[in-house]
Structure 1
Amino acid sequence: MFLTRARPLRNADGKIDYWFGINTDISALQAATAAAEEQRRLLETLNRTAAMVAAELNLDRMVQSVVDAAVQLTGAKFGAFFYHVPQPTGEAATFYTISGVPREAFSSFPMVRATEVFRPTLQGEGLIRSHDITADPRYGKNAPYKGVPEGHLPVRSYLAAPVVSRRGEVMGCLFFGHPEPGRFTADHETLLMGLAAQAAAGIDNARLYEGAQRDIAERKQAEEDRLIILRELNHRVKNLFAVTVGMIGMTARTTSSTQEMAQALTGRLRALASAHDLIRPNVASADQKAHHTHVGKLIEKILAPHVSAGEGQIKQEGPDIRVGTTGAASLALVLHEVATNAAKHGALSRDTGRIAVSWRVEGEHMVLNWIERGGPPISGPPQRKGFGADLAHMSARGQLGGDIVKSWNPEGLEIVLRASLERLEA
């Protein structure tokens, strides 16, 4: 390309006799200007990417931005980031994000395995650039594809770099391709090395942020759990006093001597303590070994302190359903609440009262029916809903994965409790 400058030379009459000019070859200047503009564009992209990586704590957005920038800087047809996944049979990486082509172009293909071509990148040995990967002696050496899978995007120019953390951990790999050969240069290598380092720092930061967020959430949940436990403890202590007072009265009415009363009352208090032990394993138990019981045994333990009229006051029937430590705590809590209510206001508050408890398996759930008869007449649901009722509902729905429904019939309370068999056995 030439730049021409000319001026006319005129005679006395003002006519142009000659032209005087200079032709300057500006090809080198144009090339230098274009190169400077390209460098400016690259620096802007790098600076923008570096600022984004430093500020972005969302892992998905950060990685996507790095891959987008690398495709723009290298001129690749497509680029992808794969997470490093150690396998028993060797190193591998699973697809994470892509740029330049739709995600579906990669998502259906298997993980990148440590083939002859991919192994150096997966093991963090360094960057690889190939003018034509199909002509590389390492290409097509591994079964079953002997190259790329059928339907894969065509690749001739190939550029790949590991993303290595400050601790030396290979966190993933950046892969870029183009269907034409010879598209990647040494400058592109340098750019990709810088972007891989930025990606490593960004992933480290995002992981630290996610870990901090998890810690905060766990601490918040632990505080909420602690408050619930304190409320539960306060509620249960009040109930224990109320039940103990009731048991003393019932025992006094059914015994003829102080010795007999002491023996009966001691037994009932011990049974109440045994029921409490079934509720507490995940709160304050010194014995953290896994224990299992069955629904029938758990019902017997929970109801034993409340029975005043001897055999026949409680009738229970159902199959053996295995209950684990966590399930026992949750189910015992629900049973404790309904039994305490029965002892204070329902069938167990009178010697003539009776309770029928039956349970069965329906699909993936246990269905338990609690039917009270012979207690005080019921005019309807209580006017005030206490914490015990809320606690029973929370345990049934949250910990047991089911629900609890109460019917306040005139002849007596009826309860239907559903609980997940999987949750019960936990």
Structure 2
Amino acid sequence: MGHVEDELREEIRINETLLRIGAVLAAELDLDRLVQRLTDEATALTRAQFGAFFFTVEGGSGEPLSRYTLSGVPRELTERLPHPRLTPLFSPTMRGEQVLRIDDVLEDPRYGKNPPYHGMPEGHLPVRSYLAVPVVSRCGKVLGALFFGHAEPGVFTERDERVVGGVASFAAVAIDNARLYKASEAARRQAEEAHRQAEAANRLKDEFLSLVSHELRTPLTAILGWTQVLSTRECDAETRARALAAIHRNVRAQIRIIDDLLDVSRIITGKLGLARRLTDLGDVLRSVLDVVRPAAEAKGIELDVTPERPSVRVCGDPDRLRQILWNLVANAIKFTPRGGRVGVEITREEGVVHMIVRDTGRGISPTFMPYVFDRFRQADSSASRSQGGLGLGLAIVRHLVEMHGGTVKAESAGADHGSTFTVTLPLPADARSGCCDGDGKTSDYRGEGPSRYAAAMEQAPRRNG
């Protein structure tokens, strides 16, 4: 009778222990802390000298990866050891096939049969008693396994096997819950980030619409003012000429804005094409400099070109290459103060050509640098900013450069330290092949010639009419 009562009390104690461990595991939603707590509790419960939990994570070779927890020994003692492989002793549990309890590993016929160690590697913790229990989810998926060892033989009993099996059942539910919680948290953060990005996009859209309205209204106001002057009073020849020049200048400024918007629309819809042919970058640069030089001279900006008369042939669309260079050089002039310097350099390396535009202007702040090539982004997007524009030029530059198979990068030491833009384009392997007008012409500004670029340089008249 006393023996039965002892067994009953032991059974009650085991159940209470399992319930306590189950409650502890169920309350933990951090997966790493959960598995460590599981390993600690089960190791203490079985009186093992050390315990471990290995996740079932398959690598390319089918071997379990190294994500695991340890209990009973410092992790440093095992860091130099090879990770357990799917040996006949290890793999059945990792596959969820069975609980494995061995009184003496050294006497087991499966031990010592596997190269390269034929037993335990040097420095391995001494193992005689061995207990391994799979942790299997409710849907039958093997989540991992618990392993326990002791240096003495015959330590683990049938009771230990049964108790750890109960712990493994609690652990499977807790691990599933922790993983679901982790996935839900990741989904929540992703949704919050998507919401934040949507709000930012809407804010940028509103700012852009406000900016477009301002940029379109400014030349329209000047045009309206001068047409009223011409229609309501007699004008001498000088006033009439001034009025017509202002109207013409502001119309061209509006054309520039609309052209940029159309280019961006074509980029977004994938309808922007190139008319490739062998093109001398020196000729492209000289045509751009002819347009921008008056603006540079008006601000007393020194405009240097290195080499003085460059000549490098690339396979590209000459009009789009002109657009790339014009955007970079015109920006440099626009943001460089009076008396500053703008330099343009064309250099060759093996297989590529670099077009480098440097200025001594206001520079680019580190916070804005990641967005410098983004559409509709400007360091100052307020309507009261000192410089006009829609913030599209550099975005168009990047797209056109990439369409030519090249790259563009911006560098700056910070505000008021100038900036450097480098365009890198591939050189044709054979000047006689691989370059043709095969991509189609989808843009409609080509007949305008330099007027497209000249219009954009007339910033000050566009502002004050």
Q: Secondary structure at the match of 2:373?
A: helix
2:93 corresponds to which letter in structure 1? Answer: T
Q: Could you tell me which of 195, 208, 228 is aligned with 1:223?
A: 195
Q: Percent identity?
A: 34
- The residue number in structure 2 matching 1:337 is 378
Q: Using a 3 Å threshold, how does the CA distance of structure 1 residues 83 and 117 change in structure 2: closer, same or farther? A: same
Q: What residue in structure 2 maps to residue 43 of structure 1? A: 15
SS at match of 2:87: coil
Shift of 1:34: 5.3
Shift of 1:131: 0.7
Aligned to 2:95: 123
Question: Which residue does 2:217 correspond to in 1?
Answer: 245
Residue number in structure 2 paired with 1:10: none
Name the SS of the counterpart of 1:337 in structure 2.
coil
Cα gap change, 1:78 to 1:198, in 2 (>3 Å): same
Alignment match, 2:80: 108
Q: What is the deviation of 1:333? A: 3.9
Q: Does 1:170 align with 2:142?
A: yes
Alignment of 1:305-320 (within 5 A): 317=344, 319=354
Out of 253, 260, 265, the residue aligned to residue 254 of structure 2 is 265
Q: Which has the higher contact order (CA 8 A, sep 6+)?
A: 2
Measured after TM superposition, the shift of residue 138 of structure 1 is 1.1
Structure 2 equivalent of residue 65 of structure 1: 37
| Offset at residue 46 of structure 1 (A) | 0.8
Q: Does structure 1 residue 135 correspond to structure 2 residue 113?
A: no
Residue from 42, 51, 57 that aligns with 1:79 = 51
**CA contact under 8 A between 1:268 and 1:304: conserved in structure 2?**
no
> Aligned residue for 2:184?
212
**1:156·1:179 contact (CA, 8 Å) conserved in 2?**
yes
Counterpart of 2:427 in structure 1 is: none
Q: Which residue of 2 aligns with 1:90?
A: 62
- Cα displacement (A) at 1:339: 8.1
After superposing the two structures, state which structure 1 stretch, 39-48 or 142-151, moved more: 39-48
Give, in angstroms, the shift of residue 69 of structure 1: 2.1
Query: 1:172–1:272: structure 2 CA closer, same or farther, 3 Å change rule?
Result: same
Alignment partner of 1:368 is 2:357: no
Residue 66 of structure 2: SS of its match in structure 1? strand
Q: CA deviation at 1:118?
A: 1.0
Greater gyration radius: 1
Q: Which residue number corresponds to residue 362 of structure 2?
A: none
Give structure 2 stretches of 5+ with no counterpart.
227-241, 273-319, 335-339, 346-353, 357-367, 390-407, 423-465
**Residue aligned with 2:57, SS:** strand
Q: More strand by proportion, 1 or 2?
A: 1
1:144 and 1:347 map into 2 onto residues whose CA distance is: 72
Deviation at 1:127, TM superposition (A): 0.9
CA–CA distance in structure 2, aligned partners of residues 121 and 254 of structure 1 = 90
Change (3 A) 1:87 1:154: same
Counterpart Cα distance in 1 of 2:210 and 2:266: 17
- Secondary structure of the structure 2 residue equivalent to 1:141: coil
2:137–2:143 Cα contact (<8 Å) kept:
yes
Q: Are the counterparts in 2 of residues 71 and 78 from structure 1 also a CA contact under 8 Å?
A: yes
Q: Which amino acid in structure 2 is aligned with residue 266 of structure 1? A: I
d(CA) in 1 for partners of 2:324 and 2:193?
29
- Give the CA deviation at 1:415: 5.1
- Cα distance in 2 for partners of 1:82, 1:418 equals 52
Contact 1:84 1:122 in 2 (8 A): yes
The DSSP-based 3-state class of the residue aligned with 1:113 is coil
| 1:190 matched residue in structure 2 | 162
Determine which of 110, 127, 150 is the counterpart of 1:155: 127
Stretch moving more, 242-251 or 256-265: 256-265
Given the two structures, how large is their TM-score scaled by the length of structure 2? 0.57
- Say whether the 8 Å CA contact 2:55–2:68 is kept in structure 1: yes
Secondary structure at the residue paired with 2:40? Answer: helix
Matched residues in 2 for 1:320 and 1:110: separation?
53
In 2, the alpha carbon distance for the partners of 1:258 and 1:100 equals 86
TM-score by length of structure 1 reads 0.62
What is the deviation of 1:39?
Answer: 3.5
Aligned counterparts of 2:257 and 2:206: Cα–Cα separation in 1: 21
Query: Residue 52 and residue 257 in structure 1: after superposition, are their counterparts in 2 closer, same or farther (change >3 A)?
Result: closer
Counterpart pick for 1:179 among 144, 151, 155? 151
**Cα separation, partners in 2 of 1:184 and 1:151, compared to 1, 3 Å:** same
